[in-house]
Amino acid sequence: MKKSSGSITVFLALMMTLLVSLVCAGLNSVRNAAARTQILNGVDIGLFSLFSQYDRTLLDKYDIFALDASGGDGMLDMASLYREYETYMLPVLAQNSQRLDVLQGGFSGLSLLTDSQGEVFYRQVVEYMSETLAVQGLQALQSRLSERRAHTASAEAAGQAVEDGQSMEHYDQEMENAAARSRDAEQNSTGDLFSSGPSAENAGPDETINPIPVIRRIRQMGLLGLVLPPDKVLSGVSVDENILLSRRRCQKGYGLEDWGAEGFRLFGDLLFSQYMIQKLGTYLHPASSGLRYQIEYAIGKRMNDEDNLEKVARRLLLIREGVNAAYLRSDPFKMAQIRSLAAAISAGFAIPPAAAAVEAALVLCWAFGESILDLRELFSGGKVPLAKNEVNWQLSLDNLPNLLKRLDIDRKTDPYGLSYDDYLQILLVPVSRADKTMAALDMIELTLRDQPGWTGFRLDSCVVAVGTYVEVLANQTQVLMADRIYGYL
């Protein structure tokens, strides 16, 4: 019995040693797991607290989340940003009975709003817009915009062809030939009162019959003076291109180049264009500061509002000339009017063979006059039809010489037509994604910089995501490491 009892005692002692070792190992494992969880909680709370300080103005005005990481001078201050992050993380590590000492830490990656030519900004905009617009509506809008873009592109090409057709040059050549023949006839005349051919000074019908000289003079006038309403004050704002975000060397992030790429959505370019129309200023709805006509800047890329507006107006003029010239050539009644007037003009110059050149010049002049009325209506906030017909045609051939007097008499709006904003959206379609994105960033930064105290603001100091790591000595026994990537997408 004594021998058996001694054996049991030794056995139990060995078992207790194993059990105590197992319990201690389990307790240590639990302690380490608790320490690891506490570290991760500290990292998460630090990031959540840091990113909760997003710029409120940027969010309220442009629905964009970003954290200004500059020290007020527009330059990135990542050391201060990390110290602020630590002020939120360290109190969490100091909780409970764990002893957690930070050995080292930092940011392993950084994504700025302007990275990759604004691609980070573009993704956030598309994400925001996709949450506000229904997919079905986007599909219908995409289809309608594609159709309008195709029609507009062909009309612009046709308008350019009308302008490049040298119809006015051919008309001038015929008139010069007529004048030269008149001078020759006078020199060879016997001096009687019945010498043939009109004189060079008074050759041809007067301008109440021939509208071409009148339209020629109007075409040489400033386009904006013709198409803008007289009560509308034109913005005189201009900017130094050297201060624009797209023209300077921007600060760049690192380590997170592909962050957020999985959030790409269908209809991305359409959504971004819609965002620009909603958030940026136009001639009809100017911005409160910076360049006032901001969508026009995205199209024209000039450094002042007037030049951008004129570039847009000339594009619209070509489009409308193409539409109007196409209708004129398809309307038998209007072409009969043109041929009749061309015959009268060429007969007045005693050059019947020039009727074809006069006819081409009349088509150009009439299409131009109708287009000026179209643009006048657009810039007044009205709508013009995508295509013309007998009902919505505005300017008669008889009133063509009096175009300047008819600018606000003959023009009319079409409730089912396209507005100025519709045309801006169409003109944005061929602009590349990078150019649209950088133009939007230019205008947002300029607008915000005009606010008091914001003169040093830079969008390339705005952080949208960081990667962070931290090494912690847990209970003076084990080094634990935690890393996280966090951002607004």
Q: Give the 3-state secondary structure of 166-216.
A: CHHHHHHHHHHHHHHHHHHHHHCCCCCCCCCCCCCCCCCCCCCCCCHHHHH
Residues 6 or more apart in contact with residue 329 via CB below 8 angstroms? 335, 363
List the helix and strand counts (H, then E) for the chain: 15, 6
Place of tokens 């994400």: 127
Residue 376's pLDDT is 93
pTM for the model stands at 0.82
Q: Which two tokens stand for residue 439?
A: 């133009």
The length of the chain in residues reads 489
Is the pLDDT at 188 greater than 80, yes or no? no
Pairing, β 478-487 against β 418-419 = unpaired
Place of tokens 């909680």: 41
* Own/partner pairs, 483-488, CB within 8 angstroms, 24+ separation: 483/108, 484/40, 484/43, 484/44, 484/47, 485/109, 485/256, 485/259, 486/44, 486/47, 486/48, 486/51, 487/51, 487/111, 487/256, 487/259, 487/260, 488/51, 488/54, 488/65, 488/66, 488/124, 488/464
Is the pLDDT at 205 greater than 60, yes or no? no
Is the pLDDT at 27 greater than 70, yes or no? no
Residue 196's pLDDT is 39
Residues 6 or more apart in contact with residue 8 via CB below 8 angstroms? none
Q: What digits encode the pLDDT tens for the residues 215-229?
A: 888 888 889 988 998
Is the pLDDT at 41 greater than 90, yes or no? no
Strand ranges for 280-387 from DSSP E: 383-384
Measured between its terminal Cα atoms, the distance across the chain in Å is 75
Asked if 43 and 468 touch (Cβ cutoff 8 Å), the reply is yes
Place of tokens 């029609």: 151
Q: What digits encode the pLDDT tens for the residues 115-136?
A: 888 888 998 998 888 887 766 5
Helix (H) or strand (E) holding 28: helix 2-51
User: For residue 100, which amino acid is it?
Assistant: L
